[in-house]
Chains A and B, each alone.
Chain A
Amino acid sequence: MSARTLPLLFLNLGGEMLYILDQRLRAQSIPGEKARKDEWTDVDRKRVMNDIISTMFNKKFMEELFKPQDLYSKKALRAVYDRLAHASIMRLNQASMDKLYDLMTMAFKYQVLLCPRPRDILLVTFNHLDAIKDFISDSPGILNQVDETFRLLIETYNCLSDGEFQLIRQTLLTFFQDMHIRVSIFLKDKVQNSNGRFVLPISGPVPWGTEVPGLIRIFNHKGVEVKRAEFTTAGNYVTPQREGSFELYGDRVLKLGTNMYSVTRPVETHMSGSSKNLASQAKENIVPNPFAKEELNFLARLLGGLDIQKPAGGETGFRLNLFTTDEEEEHAAQTRPEELSYKVISIEATQEPGRRAELSRILGELEVAEPRPGSAEKGEDLLALMDGL
């Protein structure tokens, strides 16, 4: 309902995507000297991260993003991330892309739910941006782009009231409603139950500006406090130490939005149609045209402003697998429950003749790259080899 939600949704989901891609690329990389021509190296990883980040923080794209607008449908947003993930030499199969998107969305849903104050969603966003700046710390040009976005965020959001932030949070929660995909790393850390619902702690620091529950104060008609009483509950709360910083640089205090993946913790999901209410999800599929005019404009800007990365000469697209083996990826693609399929659709061009030519050109690039039959899949055999190590 809030028309200022999209930038926060986009940047935080993008941040999670980068954490996951970085982890997978590190897990699958070989030291430069030892690598064969078709293996991932550190240099490749940095290149992929740089390409994606510089696409994400493209100036015109950001300007479009920050305009007041409604949230996109899940399908439209998914298409944007599809495009983003393919902004470099990396390729993802449908199953891996699905899994990536599941992980991104469940992670941000968790962060939004557990934010102590609605305003803290901004701190979560800053945590993501701080980490992104770390990824490209040796590329001053891209660093500048990210800083510009940081300033735009501060300018747009720091002055909003708590009530407006709560509206943004409610808009985000509506977007994430009924998503209960189980994520291994969450299950292991006991932040998610086996039914897919997140654990909401009833202990710990209260939000900044809130008092620890328990005190009742009575005032007389002159406004003088005349009585105090206490009550106890099962909760075990404490006062917070300090507030996180909303400046360009600073200690955010909040841990939500920082990178929870590391090379040793694999990213897995369990596919479960755990939501009983398929009716609510099915309804989304009934919307006749998932792409509104504004969304098309937005996507056109994103795509139009890009140098489409065409693998040059002998260099083929590097495929990244979000699963441990190719067989797993294949199996996941076949067994994905119907109600959880994203059904990436090709965009239909609008009626305006001027747009049509431009968009037709762009649409050609939009479809998720299926493994090109002729080209050698990078690392295909190697993945199996590496997993055996």
Chain B
Amino acid sequence: YRRERSLALRSSSSALYNNLAVLCPPARPPAFGAVHGTTLSLLGNEGPPRQLQARGGGSALSTPLLTQAAWCELPSRVLLVLTSQRGVQMYESDGSTMVFWHALDVPEHPAAHSVFARGIAAAGGHFVCVGTSCGAVLVFDIPPKGTNVTLSEVLEQHRDPITDIAAEQGQAPDGAGDLVTADDSGTLCLWSTGEEFTLLGKIPGSGSTCSSVRLWNGVVAAGYGNGQIRLWEAGSGRIRAQVSAHARWIYALDLAPLTGKLLSGAEDSFVHVWKLSRNPDTDDIEIQHCHAECVTDTQVCGARFCDPAGDTFAVTGYDLSEILCYGPA
């Protein structure tokens, strides 16, 4: 890999987990989104760069802060979902129209425990899952067209704020589940999606926050606050690999489903590319290091592949007003 162009952002990126959204439409250049405080900067779509605001001030004077943004690609449509201190906003994929707004229960006076939504994933063909700071995961049923989004279920298995949610990007082996949710304590829950979501397994945390998670061919890739990447077998809940990957808190993970490449970005200024594979004889899950990039003097907060094979990727950093793009050497 080598560094290619940089895309200028109107505002710098905030220090938030998974702070880079990428949409890769087939045969078109990718679109990007990065959160800065109360706004989401969108780039790369047809038309000029756009900014979306967090919604819902209520009695407070200040606009609420956004926590995350992600495109949810469903078979019928693509939605752009934003999570904030107040709730969940869903837009058409170019950010032009708001499709749906869900308000969280926010107490009148700030309580010791913060309230916010965080963690976004498309799942099960027609659902969008969003996590909350109380540990609940909201499951929204998305119609193929229009604004009639309904809250289908609330999953209550986590006791700590949700950090990230990921759906199976490849082929799940039997019994492995197709959704994983992660929280501040490092606990991972595995689900099978459907009209009713079923909990298949729980991997307890071991003292370190899981800030980012991916699921591919029944393998959970999780990034932690102590700089480790762990690979878990989704079906059995067993650990299959442990990597001392970064010297600081991991902020972002991404996976390229065609090749099994894994991208990790952390506060230590490094972005690493790894390769996941399955040993056909032993059935062991293996991970190799492929490439390292140091983004000088920057704490990386978002990292995503820009194509399904993982030949290109993009990175955002705290206080950086650009999206850095990397391509084949």
Are B318 and A173 touching (Cβ within 8 A)? Answer: yes
Cβ–Cβ < 8 Å partners of B246 in chain A: 213
Q: What are the interface flags for A184-215 relative to B under an 8 Å C-beta threshold, 1 for contact and 0 otherwise? A: 00000000010001111010001101111111
Which of A125-133, A135-143, A231-239 lies at the binding interface?
A231-239
Are A217 and B37 touching (Cβ within 8 A)? Answer: no
Closest chain-B Cβ to A190's Cβ sits at a distance in Å of 12
Are A216 and B294 touching (Cβ within 8 A)? Answer: no
Closest chain-A Cβ to B183's Cβ sits at a distance in Å of 8
Cβ–Cβ < 8 Å partners of A214 in chain B: 244
Closest chain-A Cβ to B218's Cβ sits at a distance in Å of 12
Closest chain-A Cβ to B49's Cβ sits at a distance in Å of 12
SS class, residues of chain A in contact with chain B: loop
Q: Does A68 contact B (CB under 8 A)?
A: yes
How far apart sit A213 and B60, CA to CA, in the bound complex (Å)? 44
Closest chain-B Cβ to A109's Cβ sits at a distance in Å of 9
Cβ–Cβ < 8 Å partners of A215 in chain B: 243-244
Are A206 and B12 touching (Cβ within 8 A)? Answer: no
Are A234 and B244 touching (Cβ within 8 A)? Answer: no
Are B248 and A217 touching (Cβ within 8 A)? Answer: no
How far apart sit A162 and B116, CA to CA, in the bound complex (Å)? 17
Closest chain-A Cβ to B321's Cβ sits at a distance in Å of 6
Are A200 and B298 touching (Cβ within 8 A)? Answer: yes
Are A164 and B184 touching (Cβ within 8 A)? Answer: yes
Cβ–Cβ < 8 Å partners of A223 in chain B: 238-239
Cβ–Cβ < 8 Å partners of A219 in chain B: 238-242, 284
How far apart sit A206 and B286, CA to CA, in the bound complex (Å)? 26
Q: Does A163 contact B (CB under 8 A)?
A: yes
| Contact flag A161-B185 (CB < 8 Å), given A3-B110, A215-B244, A289-B61 | yes
Cβ–Cβ < 8 Å partners of B185 in chain A: 161, 163
Q: Does A174 contact B (CB under 8 A)?
A: yes
Q: Does B124 contact A (CB under 8 A)?
A: no
Are A221 and B225 touching (Cβ within 8 A)? Answer: no
Closest chain-B Cβ to A157's Cβ sits at a distance in Å of 11
Q: What are the interface flags for B280-306 relative to A under an 8 Å C-beta threshold, 1 for contact and 0 otherwise? A: 001111111100101011110000000
Q: Does B111 contact A (CB under 8 A)?
A: yes
Which of A43-51, A275-283, A349-357 lies at the binding interface?
A275-283
Cβ–Cβ < 8 Å partners of A177 in chain B: 12, 14, 36-37, 318-319
Closest chain-A Cβ to B234's Cβ sits at a distance in Å of 13
A73-126 contacts to B (CB < 8 Å): 73, 113, 116-118
Closest chain-B Cβ to A117's Cβ sits at a distance in Å of 8
Are A68 and B111 touching (Cβ within 8 A)? Answer: yes
A174 touches which of B15, B61, B161 (Cβ 8 Å) = B15
Q: Does A389 contact B (CB under 8 A)?
A: no
Closest chain-B Cβ to A217's Cβ sits at a distance in Å of 5
Q: Does B45 contact A (CB under 8 A)?
A: no
Q: Does B312 contact A (CB under 8 A)?
A: no
Cβ–Cβ < 8 Å partners of A117 in chain B: 249
Q: Does A166 contact B (CB under 8 A)?
A: yes
Are B209 and A162 touching (Cβ within 8 A)? Answer: yes
Cβ–Cβ < 8 Å partners of A259 in chain B: none
Tally inter-chain residue pairs, CB-CB below 8 A. Answer: 183
Closest chain-A Cβ to B185's Cβ sits at a distance in Å of 7
Are B270 and A235 touching (Cβ within 8 A)? Answer: yes
Q: Does B269 contact A (CB under 8 A)?
A: yes
| Contact flag A233-B270 (CB < 8 Å), given A1-B116, A173-B318 | yes
Cβ–Cβ < 8 Å partners of B208 in chain A: 162, 209
How far apart sit A174 and B85, CA to CA, in the bound complex (Å)? 14
Q: Does A24 contact B (CB under 8 A)?
A: no
Q: What are the interface flags for B232-269 relative to A under an 8 Å C-beta threshold, 1 for contact and 0 otherwise? A: 01001011111111111100000000000000000011
How far apart sit A288 and B233, CA to CA, in the bound complex (Å)? 53
Q: Does B62 contact A (CB under 8 A)?
A: yes
Are B247 and A235 touching (Cβ within 8 A)? Answer: yes
Cβ–Cβ < 8 Å partners of B62 in chain A: 70, 73, 287, 292
Closest chain-A Cβ to B181's Cβ sits at a distance in Å of 15
Cβ–Cβ < 8 Å partners of B14 in chain A: 170, 173-174, 177
Are B284 and A218 touching (Cβ within 8 A)? Answer: yes
How far apart sit A1 and B114, CA to CA, in the bound complex (Å)? 7
Q: Which of A174, A233, A289 has the most CB of B within 10 A?
A: A233
How far apart sit A233 and B294, CA to CA, in the bound complex (Å)? 9
Q: Does A2 contact B (CB under 8 A)?
A: yes
Q: What are the interface flags for A216-249 relative to B under an 8 Å C-beta threshold, 1 for contact and 0 otherwise? A: 1111110100110101011101000000000000
Identify the A interface with B (CB < 8 A).
1-4, 68-70, 73, 113, 116-118, 161-164, 166-167, 169-170, 173-174, 177-178, 180, 193, 197-200, 202, 206-207, 209-221, 223, 226-227, 229, 231, 233-235, 237, 276-277, 279-280, 287-289, 292
**Top 7 closest pairs, chain A to chain B, by CB:** A163-B184, A231-B289, A3-B110, A211-B244, A173-B15, A163-B209, A233-B292
Identify the B interface with A (CB < 8 A).
10-12, 14-16, 36-37, 60-62, 65, 67, 85, 109-114, 116, 160-161, 163, 183-185, 207-209, 211, 225-228, 233, 236, 238-249, 268-270, 272, 282-289, 292, 294, 296-299, 318-319, 321
